[in-house]
Structure 1
Amino acid sequence: MVTPITTRQSIFLGSGAYLPERIVTNLELEAMMDTTDAWIQERTGIQQRAIAGPLETTATLGTHAARLALTDAGLEPSDVDLIVCATSTPDRTFPATATLIQAQLGIPVASAFDVQAVCSGFVYAMTVADALLKVGQAKTALVIGAETFSRILDWSDRTTAVLFGDGAGAMVMGTSVAATSQGRGLLAHALRADGRHADLLYVNGGASQGGRIGKLKMQGQAVFRHAVGNISEAISVCCAQAGVEVDDIDWFVPHQANRRILEGVARRLNLDEHKVITTVMQHGNTSAASVPLAFDLARKDGRIKIGDLVLFEAMGGGFTWGASLLRL
């Protein structure tokens, strides 16, 4: 007798988010560099950002967000057997920041590793966790996006320093038998990368390239030109895979890079602007943390509800970009 194959579906269980206490407004940046609040808001939409304190690290921010996500899911750390942390600002070259979070949570044994896809990191991490859950490699996953980009900024460069902030967001994913999931869960993904454009957004250092951390460098206009088209394509492909129309989506949770990019994608796809979750004004660009931070905020304020169809999208250095579709 042949044993039937059980098809598993990854489902959403809970979310959490954490920001450092220190808030840096545009007015504070005016005193530090040649910029103004009006200049920053006109070009980016950003009004303030959170900056990690001297005792805060990517792992500590990620741990706070993870604890809140587990509480939201009604689970204990011991229930977790997979941790995927998306970050480009790890605490150490190794071990993985995910293992440091694992230790801080008190989880004795679990799979734990980092994903590095810059601002697209959380979408990539969701896709990896989804695959491992579906094949039975894990039952409960913590997917975390955590960053301390303030540590890799040149604070004399107004074209980059004004854009970024620190923070962490987390999501707990579990599994259900697909036949009884009632259409819930992660439905489709579209991941992309094109390394030919690496020099448009990068950090000029690394362990094997000079042995120093380096600082973030970006050609903003060039990144913008690629971002709108790339993100729009990934969204369209993701929807096609799931058999839904863009108009069917209840909420869009984009990477919070720049208000102009958000508006450009919305125009390209004819999106209802009221469906787009926007937090860039409060958070700035928190790289891999921006998508889960925005998602958690919109859940906790009551906009995103169980049963809603939510699309996540992001683009970052590499270039990497992608989209994921989730039915809560």
Structure 2
Amino acid sequence: MSEPAAPRVYARIAGTGSYLPSKVLTNDDLAKIVDTSDEWIAARTGIRQRHVAAEGETTGDLAFHAAVRALEAAGTDASEIDLIVVGTTTPDLVFPSTACLVQARLGVAGCPAFDVNAACSGFIFALSVAEKFIASGSVKTALVIGSETLTRMVDWSERTTCVLFGDGAGAVVLKADTETGILSTHLHADGAKKELLWNPVGVSVGFKENEKNAGVRINMAGSDVFKYAVKALDGIVEETLEANGIDRHEIDWLIPHQANLRIIEATAKRLDMPMERVIVTVDRHGNTSSGSVPLALDEAVRSGKVERGQLLLLEAFGGGFTWGSALLRY
């Protein structure tokens, strides 16, 4: 007689946490330093304000504070952590990783800790990696963080990009569970589109001082990115639903990357989901890249909107291009 199949091991979100810098930069504040207005920004993006890291406040600082809050919410001691994965495109240092820096502050030397760079999809990619570790049985408790200080790489004289980005971090504690948790994750990338949304500076590439794009700056072809993002997110929504054999109306909450309200609305329309069931923070946070999905998730949990047992769809699109989704039972 054959042995009964081992039960599937899920990665369940045991706790969430987030952190936003105290400084708030409103659209009216931006209008004082660049040719723009609150009406212009809000109409095109849905953004009203964003948080900006203080001088000396790093991506690692934000990540650490979010992590502590997630651990507290999960009722988990840092000593229980078996894995730390940080999604970020604005690390404190070239090396060591921001995950290693957070690990040191938590005092949990020994477990693996590393960063994932998938731009705005960073948290979804990091979540997927951690889920695979738990599903394989090699990890019982994982800390996954999305943290960014994007305002450090915006050109404050470029009104089409400087109005979009903010700083912040969100974190989740994942625990192995045989009942419920992350049902599936789906990841994609298309490096051929890199110059539509990129930072043309790197250690190996360097930059030439006389080039227009010199410096650590975000360069974006906004309309092209918008069109590609809507199409890619439409596709990944369908892929996620089909993979899990569920109807779109079974999803309780859509928690999307907070880049642009119009992109969020387009995805909700694809799901035939009223905006009342979509978590929106872009108006107050701006685009915090890999920090946006866990920030929105934590706010939704702490406000009481998201409840245990509900079905959540998380999705994001970012430079690379990268895009991804996670379907989970909270």
Q: TM-score range by the shorter chain?
A: over 0.9
User: CA deviation digits over 1:199-255, x for unaligned, max 9?
Assistant: 000002111111686210000000000111101111111121122111100000000
Distance in 1 (CA, whole Å) between partners of 2:275 and 2:217 is 34
Q: CA shift at 1:7, angstroms?
A: 3.2
- On the 8 A contact 1:207/1:213 being kept in 2, the answer is no
The alignment covers a number of residue pairs equal to 323
**Which residue is equivalent to 1:301?**
303
Q: CA shift at 1:268, angstroms?
A: 3.0
Is 2:189 the partner of 1:193?
yes
- On the 8 A contact 2:254/2:268 being kept in 1, the answer is no
Q: CA shift at 1:115, angstroms?
A: 0.6
Is 2:231 the partner of 1:235?
no
**Which residue is equivalent to 2:274?**
272
Counterpart amino acid of residue 124 in structure 2: V
**Which residue is equivalent to 2:144?**
143
**Which residue is equivalent to 2:314?**
312
Distance in 2 (CA, whole Å) between partners of 1:33 and 1:272 is 35
Please tell me the root mean square deviation across aligned C-alpha atoms, in Å: 1.4
**Which residue is equivalent to 2:176?**
175
Is 2:206 the partner of 1:205?
no
- On the 8 A contact 1:253/1:276 being kept in 2, the answer is yes
**Which residue is equivalent to 1:262?**
264
**Which residue is equivalent to 1:58?**
59
Counterpart amino acid of residue 72 in structure 1: A
> Match for 1:220 among 191, 206, 222?
222
Counterpart amino acid of residue 255 in structure 2: V
Distance in 2 (CA, whole Å) between partners of 1:231 and 1:327 is 20
Distance in 1 (CA, whole Å) between partners of 2:47 and 2:267 is 18
- On the 8 A contact 1:82/1:138 being kept in 2, the answer is yes
Q: In the TM superposition, what are the counterparts of 1:67-106 in structure 2 within 5 Å? A: 67-106=68-107
**Which residue is equivalent to 1:26?**
27
Is 2:33 the partner of 1:37?
no
Work out the percentage of aligned pairs sharing the same amino acid.
Answer: 47
Q: In the TM superposition, what are the counterparts of 1:4-23 in structure 2 within 5 Å? A: 5=6, 7-23=8-24
Distance in 1 (CA, whole Å) between partners of 2:285 and 2:24 is 9
Alignment TM-score, normalising by the size of structure 2: 0.95
Distance in 2 (CA, whole Å) between partners of 1:235 and 1:189 is 11
Q: 109-118 vs 5-14, which deviates more?
A: 5-14
> Match for 2:289 among 287, 310, 314?
287
Distance in 2 (CA, whole Å) between partners of 1:269 and 1:174 is 29
Q: CA shift at 1:2, angstroms?
A: 7.9
- On the 8 A contact 1:89/1:148 being kept in 2, the answer is yes
Counterpart amino acid of residue 193 in structure 2: H
Counterpart amino acid of residue 149 in structure 2: T
Counterpart amino acid of residue 257 in structure 1: A
Is 2:156 the partner of 1:155?
yes
List, as ranges, runs of 4+ consecutive aligned residues in structure 1 with deviation greater than 3 Å: 1-7
Q: Which runs of 5+ in 2 are unaligned?
A: 208-213
Q: CA shift at 1:6, angstroms?
A: 5.2
User: CA deviation digits over 1:78-129, x for unaligned, max 9?
Assistant: 1101000000000001111100000111112211000110001111111100
Q: CA shift at 1:5, angstroms?
A: 4.2
Distance in 1 (CA, whole Å) between partners of 2:233 and 2:143 is 25
Alignment TM-score, normalising by the size of structure 1: 0.96
SS of residue in 1 equivalent to 2:283: helix
Distance in 1 (CA, whole Å) between partners of 2:230 and 2:261 is 12
Counterpart amino acid of residue 315 in structure 1: F
Counterpart amino acid of residue 305 in structure 2: R
Distance in 1 (CA, whole Å) between partners of 2:215 and 2:311 is 40
Distance in 2 (CA, whole Å) between partners of 1:137 and 1:159 is 45
Q: 271-280 vs 306-315, which deviates more?
A: 271-280
SS of residue in 2 equivalent to 1:95: coil
- On the 8 A contact 2:249/2:271 being kept in 1, the answer is no
